[in-house]
Structure 1
């Protein structure tokens, strides 16, 4: 690109109908397209698939129901199985845009042909859907520990957005394709593509996928058994298309739609442990940002089975994820650099959509997500009465601990007495319903365990299978 393109200021965009979810689209006509020159050295290397990959990294931004967690920087989490996630840097951002809207949504991580990473993201801070940017945010990174070369890359000069950018290596073109959502001349969202070698300048945009109806959030799995798969959002469901080539216009819808309420942001993830198994993640619309996951043993079949929520846990307040495989050395290096959280969350075994929290100082399990979200964050510290046990210190009320009183669990200020210390101390044991989970036996009432009853926590004797499930929790993040 030899100079800035002149784009007339965008006019006002109509908002969504009252009470509805905005469709993340503008309704403006398109300006004439001005080609952008592609320059830079061609990236060469072993490709994005590495035999040594043994773990995963996730990128996301954060929001919560009352927007207390709204943070539009790049957040990272890691996982060894692609299902249970550990947020890094205390769930704070590791990089934040310094140009454009000064915020990001929809981050995407790609390992380039030379083995380094590039991070792309929507140039949008918050939920002002009238904001129009022809640019996307871009960072380079050798290791996801440092982020360099921050810039914005212009994709078009049209009077429409550039949402949810993703990239892939097109071996036939020996260039990277960058796909994203934009509005076409018919007034509906399509998936566009530009080609680049350096993620600094790009070719003129082309329509990559337009089935004739509104589609956003394209996610590609390239070269799986000689077929390329594109998943996208259609009418609040996740749907797949496929093609034997990567040519624009070559993809045809084929899969069974999946959804859990209004679902968007599909992410395809290949299992590193089970041959042929793929996961499909989706994000429910709204600041709640609840993720759901499905599994298939054949991408070609296009059918998915919902995973039990016990099997996966998303990072706290995460929205619109990207997942990429990494090596075990990179996994260890990321944890060494950014650190793991100094707090935990506890998920209910038999109500895995619910987490332990305090509300009006009463301990209970409530559906994720909620605000104030720190109500569900706990520091599991050495037991106040016995350091071989555990006590639950509130993150947002650090002078208060979970203790039992008349067998009910509540959040009280530590008064320094031996009675309080004993009431607030528990023995962690193997989960009564699942030994891979955890249960907590009262220190001074050792025949009783923490359990929920009508969603409220208390200590009770446990004998039946239901009671064992009520008393079993996952300690995670």
Structure 2
């Protein structure tokens, strides 16, 4: 959430799963801390909402995506919401998901529809779910009695010393600037003891808590459009001290710390605070160091137009069940290997790679269908202009209407191969000019012979979402 209209230049974010000591009967293992998960976890779920540059994809319902590595994501339900708020402002921002002590999930979200920054609410949206396939008990939850302020970016954590859950959120209290507040609950139906959790003496927002890493708890937040960390050996309000080196990519908000389930790596996700909806990721192998290194954009891909995500570990069974329930998209996007901020799209019927985000975002969505000339190959059907396909003409790729001729079919058919620059990616060889591959040149797509390392990189793409 961006609160720039409130004069702070700050914004909001959600969290990675707070520590949940899940009963053995429910899961077969114990959670060790935020993001480390119980032993059965092998995948991740993400919750988010969507916006785009012209707000063509502004949707303030609850969206879900899944991932097996926590870096590359499959949007569910065709990137449409799985549930939409009906109370309060009638929309959400900044959703958060956590597995509770009993093994079920709770979803929290800011009560705000779109960019109506004048809507101040003492409430947040809450859903219960046993499996993230059904959502029950929808309600508003009151967090405090303060007036003329907000309750942004709610995130929850289990506080074993208090035997209660804490709910973190951003509000302006008597200090006159945004602070991280906490209210406590046992059931996510009523709350008590609202108080300041963290106030370093200046405007902050978007608290994200990671618990119990080497006996230390880490709180990441946004200050001056940068992501900064504080730490404490307790969960007591007022006990956290800033310590980390700030990171940012332009104006950045919404920190989310995610632990790899297969290595000692930690990932820090951050979101641009404009409606563009671009995430950047930093990596660390030592949270105690407070230093992060920017991750190559080749290594991660966010759900299309996603904003302000919350991420939590899930089991392989939950991962498979979510895909079975909601389905993977019927379309793909193609990401450039050597310009990983750019995606294949059509513009004025010409094919090119442009930097995400852009509208119409549907220009970058493709159905990879059986090849028109040979079903063992592939053709690229436009999602938003479905009578048109990518085809080469004088070696340049363009989006043309299928005229039903054998020439068009051959021009629009390609053989998918292992990526010429990286075998885990893909390259596409022309069906009727088999010495030529799709590659970009000055950002325009064409078919060319490929021989050098630079040309192989130009001809390599990631087929994802």
**TM value normalised by structure 2:** 0.94
1:177-326 correspondence to structure 2 within 5 Å: 177-274=166-263, 276-326=264-314
Q: How far does the alpha carbon of each residue in 1:144-203 deviate from its partner, in whole angstroms, 9 at most, with x for none?
A: 000000000000121210000000000000100000000022221000000000001000
Is the 2:391–2:399 contact (alpha carbons within 8 Å) kept by the matching residues of 1? Answer: yes
Residue in structure 2 matched with residue 109 of structure 1 by the alignment: 97
* 2:324 pairs with 1:350: no
> Which of residues 379, 386, 393 in structure 2 aligns to 1:391?
379
* 2:165 pairs with 1:176: yes
1:145-160 correspondence to structure 2 within 5 Å: 145-159=133-147, 160=149
* 2:364 pairs with 1:376: yes
Residue in structure 1 matched with residue 42 of structure 2 by the alignment: 54
Q: How far does the alpha carbon of each residue in 1:25-66 deviate from its partner, in whole angstroms, 9 at most, with x for none?
A: 9xxxxxxxxxxxxxxxxx973564311000000000000000
Is the 2:352–2:445 contact (alpha carbons within 8 Å) kept by the matching residues of 1? Answer: yes
Q: How far does the alpha carbon of each residue in 1:44-92 deviate from its partner, in whole angstroms, 9 at most, with x for none?
A: 7356431100000000000000000000001000000000100001000
Shift of 1:14: 9.9
Q: How far does the alpha carbon of each residue in 1:402-455 deviate from its partner, in whole angstroms, 9 at most, with x for none?
A: 000011000000000000000000000111111110000000111110000000
Q: How far does the alpha carbon of each residue in 1:231-269 deviate from its partner, in whole angstroms, 9 at most, with x for none?
A: 000110001000000000000001111110100000010
> Which of residues 51, 54, 71 in structure 2 aligns to 1:66?
54
| Structure 2 gaps, min length 5 | 13-20, 25-29, 32-36
Shift of 1:95: 1.0
Is the 2:11–2:206 contact (alpha carbons within 8 Å) kept by the matching residues of 1? Answer: no
Residue in structure 1 matched with residue 15 of structure 2 by the alignment: none
Is the 1:24–1:129 contact (alpha carbons within 8 Å) kept by the matching residues of 2? Answer: no
State the alpha-carbon separation in 2 of the partners of residues 57 and 166 from structure 1.
15
Shift of 1:15: 3.9
1:461-476 correspondence to structure 2 within 5 Å: 461-476=449-464
Find the residue that maps to 1:352 and give its secondary structure: coil
* 2:140 pairs with 1:162: no
* 2:23 pairs with 1:45: yes
Find the residue that maps to 1:205 and give its secondary structure: strand
Shift of 1:23: 3.5
Is the 2:10–2:224 contact (alpha carbons within 8 Å) kept by the matching residues of 1? Answer: no
State the alpha-carbon separation in 2 of the partners of residues 266 and 178 from structure 1.
16
State the alpha-carbon separation in 2 of the partners of residues 222 and 66 from structure 1.
38
Shift of 1:289: 1.2
Closer, same or farther: CA 14–429 of 1 in aligned 2, 3 Å: closer
Is the 1:296–1:303 contact (alpha carbons within 8 Å) kept by the matching residues of 2? Answer: yes
Q: Give me the CA root mean square deviation.
A: 1.4
Residue in structure 1 matched with residue 18 of structure 2 by the alignment: none
> Which of residues 424, 434, 438 in structure 2 aligns to 1:436?
424
State the alpha-carbon separation in 1 of the partners of residues 384 and 4 from structure 2.
40
Shift of 1:466: 0.7
Residue in structure 1 matched with residue 69 of structure 2 by the alignment: 81
Residue in structure 2 matched with residue 32 of structure 1 by the alignment: none
Is the 1:233–1:265 contact (alpha carbons within 8 Å) kept by the matching residues of 2? Answer: yes
Is the 1:380–1:393 contact (alpha carbons within 8 Å) kept by the matching residues of 2? Answer: yes
Is the 2:48–2:308 contact (alpha carbons within 8 Å) kept by the matching residues of 1? Answer: yes
1:132-143 correspondence to structure 2 within 5 Å: 132-143=120-131
> Which of residues 88, 107, 124 in structure 1 aligns to 2:112?
124
| Structure 1 gaps, min length 5 | 1-12, 26-42
Is the 1:155–1:204 contact (alpha carbons within 8 Å) kept by the matching residues of 2? Answer: no
State the alpha-carbon separation in 1 of the partners of residues 10 and 268 from structure 2.
21
State the alpha-carbon separation in 1 of the partners of residues 332 and 196 from structure 2.
45
State the alpha-carbon separation in 1 of the partners of residues 338 and 22 from structure 2.
49
Find the residue that maps to 2:287 and give its secondary structure: coil
State the alpha-carbon separation in 2 of the partners of residues 44 and 211 from structure 1.
33
Q: How many residues align?
A: 444
Residue in structure 2 matched with residue 9 of structure 1 by the alignment: none
Residue in structure 1 matched with residue 34 of structure 2 by the alignment: none
State the alpha-carbon separation in 2 of the partners of residues 14 and 321 from structure 1.
19
State the alpha-carbon separation in 2 of the partners of residues 429 and 182 from structure 1.
52
State the alpha-carbon separation in 2 of the partners of residues 346 and 44 from structure 1.
39
Shift of 1:283: 0.3
Closer, same or farther: CA 372–338 of 1 in aligned 2, 3 Å: same
State the alpha-carbon separation in 2 of the partners of residues 352 and 14 from structure 1.
29
> Which of residues 303, 316, 337 in structure 2 aligns to 1:328?
316
